[in-house]
Structures are given as structure tokens and as C-alpha cells.
Amino acid sequence: MRPMEAVNIFFLGKGGVGKSTSSALTALSLARRGDDVLLVSLDPAHNQADIFESRFSDKPRRVAPHLEVVEIDQERWIEKYLKGVHEEINRNYRYLTAFNLEKHFEVMRYSPGLEEYALILAFEETRKRYPDHRYMVWDMAPTALSLKFFNLPGLSLVWINQLLALRKEIIAKRELITKVRLLDREVETDKVLRRLERSVEEYTALARLFQDSARTRIELVLNPDRLSLAESRRIVTELRRIGIRLHQVVVNKVWDGASLEDLKQEFRGLPMVTVPQSETQLIGLDVLVAYLDDKGLDFHEA
């Protein structure tokens, strides 16, 4: 039997609301039920190291039974992404080497969009490299970058489909003019076409993954205050535009006597987990475990 594909759980929300803490608590509570969990820090701030009082890298490190942690080094993945593009151009678009490619790459290093492409690459590679976990819990980057991350497949598809149409037009025209003379070049044209078609397949699969509630759960973390609610609204609107729905709302740092009525009204129809404000710092495995038990927290019923 084919192993079941992992469920990806993403935490989104304003800085400081408790995404990293909620990721850690969720990962831990799932692992304690006996499911294998990989907690992946995609945020360059890498709070998981502080939360678990440990050092992490791109190799999974076990912090508790069934729970391993990985840290994604964004800079390294940016380098990796650039290198991949470089190699591909050298391999498939040889006739372009007449131009000054190196200069082009220096510009590309600073181009907008690079971070989210690197993040998507890291996401895909991490999934491929560690396919044996039931859950992959993703501690996300700041809101703006995270939204670009989820938007990337759809946006790329718009671009690539345009390029595909253009490419097909070029090929058609070329065939009208001469069929024989450009034999060499035609092989390369086909390569370009095939590469574009492969990209369409990859991004389509990714867009489907993000929209598939059986494999993707988006958790919105917020506090019972107006600022985090305002940012949450923007996140919800943006996700809806992309066709991604929220799975659950995590109201964190709920102090005694805080009113949740407005939040319940705002997010009616969605499951809501409330996490009380802790008097002690939520740092260290023992503290987290005790907190889960003490408050009877269960992040995932199903």
C-alpha cells in the first residue's frame, strides 16, 4: 500500500502572536498521540531553537518521541535556487551563453520574488527528503512573505501559460518560414516547450496541494486584540483570493476575562482553539508538555 501523504499544517499570523509557540505545541500534541511529526522552521528568525533550547539544522533532530525538528536556512536555499537556474540555462538554452549571463545572475540575486521561490523550493525538497511523517508542521515566515509563498503557484501559472502561448506561436511561425534550415534550433525549441510544460504541471500540483484541505491545514494565529485581528482579516481576504481556506483559528495569549465574542462572530463556522496566556515562559520541552496537560489543550480533534 502506498504510504499516506503527510498533512501539512501551516501557522500564519502577525509577528509575536505566537506562531512559533503554537507550531511547537501542535507538533508536540500530535506526536504525543503517536503520529510521526516533522516540525519545520521556515521563518528566518528560527524561534524553535529557543523554544526547545536546542540547535537545529537541515537534518532532523529528535526532541521527543515521534517529534523531529528541522530548520530551513533561507540564504542557503536562495543560493541553491540561483544555482539551479544557472545550470538549467547552461544546459537547455546554450545559444544564450553569447549574452553576459553572469551579469544577469547578479541582477537576479536582488530581484523581487527570489525569497518566495527559494522558500517554495525548500518546501518541496523538504517534503521529498522526509516523506515518512504523518504530519509536517510549518512554522512560517512573516505574513507578507508567507502570503507570497501561497500565491506563487497561481501567479507563476499565469506567467508560464503566457510564455507557453508565445512559444507555440514562435514555433508555428518558424515552421511556416522554414522547416529544414533550423533543425538544430528546433530541437532546442522543443526543449523550452517541454520545460514550460513541466513547470505548468509542477505549479498546478502545488496549487492543488494548497487548496486541498485533506493535505493542507492553514491555522490562523491571533490574540484577542485589535491589531492582530486587523492583520488576520487581511490574511483571510488574501487567502480567499487565492482559493485557500482556513482550517482553524488559534486564539493565543487569552488572558483571564478576555472577551472572545467578537472573534467568534468574526470567524463563525470555523473551529477555534483558545490558548490561555501562560504566567511562565513557554520554553523547554518539559514546560510545553506540562502546559498541554495542565490546560488540556488539544489542537487537532481529527
47 binds Mg ion (CB under 5 A): yes
Nearest approach, Cβ of 217 to ligand ADP (angstroms)?
17
Nearest approach, Cβ of 14 to ligand ADP (angstroms)?
7
Please, which residues bridge with residue 137 across strands?
Answer: 9, 39
Residue for cell digits 483570493?
A: 241
- Look up residue 270 and give its three cell numbers: 470555523
Residue placing its CB nearer to ligand ADP in the complex, 156 or 252:
252
Q: Give the 3-state secondary structure of residue 264.
A: helix
Contact yes or no for 235/13 (Cβ under 8 A): yes
20 binds Mg ion (CB under 5 A): yes
22 binds Mg ion (CB under 5 A): no
Residue for cell digits 490574511?
A: 235
Q: How many residues belong to the site for Mg ion (CB under 5 A)?
A: 4
Nearest approach, Cβ of 263 to ligand ADP (angstroms)?
15
Please give the residue ranges that form the binding site for ligand ADP (CB under 6 A).
Answer: 13, 15-21, 47, 252-253, 275, 277-278, 281-282
Residue placing its CB nearer to ligand ADP in the complex, 102 or 286:
286
Among residues 20, 13, 27, the alpha carbon closest in space to that of 300 is found at 27
Taking the C-alpha atoms of residue 76 and residue 143, their distance in angstroms, rounded to an integer, is 21
Q: Which does 207 bind (CB under 5 to 8 A by kind): ligand ADP, Mg ion, none?
A: none
Side-chain-side CA neighbours of residue 48 (13 Å): 33
Residue for cell digits 493542507?
A: 216
Contact yes or no for 8/215 (Cβ under 8 A): yes
Q: Which does 278 bind (CB under 5 to 8 A by kind): ligand ADP, Mg ion, none?
A: ligand ADP
Nearest approach, Cβ of 291 to ligand ADP (angstroms)?
8
Nearest approach, Cβ of 282 to Mg ion (angstroms)?
12
126 binds Mg ion (CB under 5 A): no
Residue placing its CB nearer to ligand ADP in the complex, 63 or 282:
282
- Closest-by-Cβ residue to Mg ion is 20
Q: Indicate the helix (H) or strand (E) that contains 250.
A: strand 248-254
Among residues 231, 272, 267, 217, the alpha carbon closest in space to that of 16 is found at 231
Nearest approach, Cβ of 221 to ligand ADP (angstroms)?
6
Residue placing its CB nearer to ligand ADP in the complex, 206 or 273:
273
Q: Are strands 135-139 and 37-41 parallel, antiparallel or unpaired?
A: parallel
Q: Which does 143 bind (CB under 5 to 8 A by kind): Mg ion, ligand ADP, none?
A: none
Q: Which does 17 bind (CB under 5 to 8 A by kind): Mg ion, ligand ADP, none?
A: ligand ADP
Taking the C-alpha atoms of residue 89 and residue 38, their distance in angstroms, rounded to an integer, is 34
Q: Which amino acid is at 193?
A: L
211 binds Mg ion (CB under 5 A): no
Q: Which residues bind Mg ion (CB under 5 A)?
A: 19-20, 43, 47
